[in-house]
Amino acid sequence: MIIKKYFLDILRWGLRFHSAIHLIELISAIYEEAYMTAGIAFVGGFIEVLASFFIPNEHVHLKPIKSDVHAHCEEEDD
């Protein structure tokens, strides 16, 4: 589905852009000698960069505890 593809691309780039904001926050916190804030900014930015690259290309069924991820949905074949 084309809308889903573009949505995921926008989501990926949005996460990367937000990671860049965390980088600016990290530099600012180090400059102000707020090292705990710098650590939190680093962890947040790092997680967002990883998430932007590991958003699955597969089909995802969202569930409360653990989502199912697979390449092809059997429910669509019905």
- pLDDT, one tens digit per residue, over 10-65 is 888 888 899 899 999 999 999 999 999 999 999 999 998 888 887 766 566 666 66
The total of other beta-carbon atoms located within 10 Å of residue 76's CB is 7
CA distance 55 to 22: 19
Residues with Cβ within 8 Å of 14's Cβ and at least 6 positions away in sequence, in order, are: none
User: Could you write out the DSSP letters of every residue in 34-51?
Assistant: -HHHHHHHHHHHHHHHHH
State the pLDDT at residue 24.
95
| Cross-strand partners of 69 | 60
Q: Which two tokens stand for residue 46?
A: 């790092």
Instruction: Give the three-class secondary structure for 78.
Output: coil
Task: Judge if pTM exceeds 0.75.
Answer: no
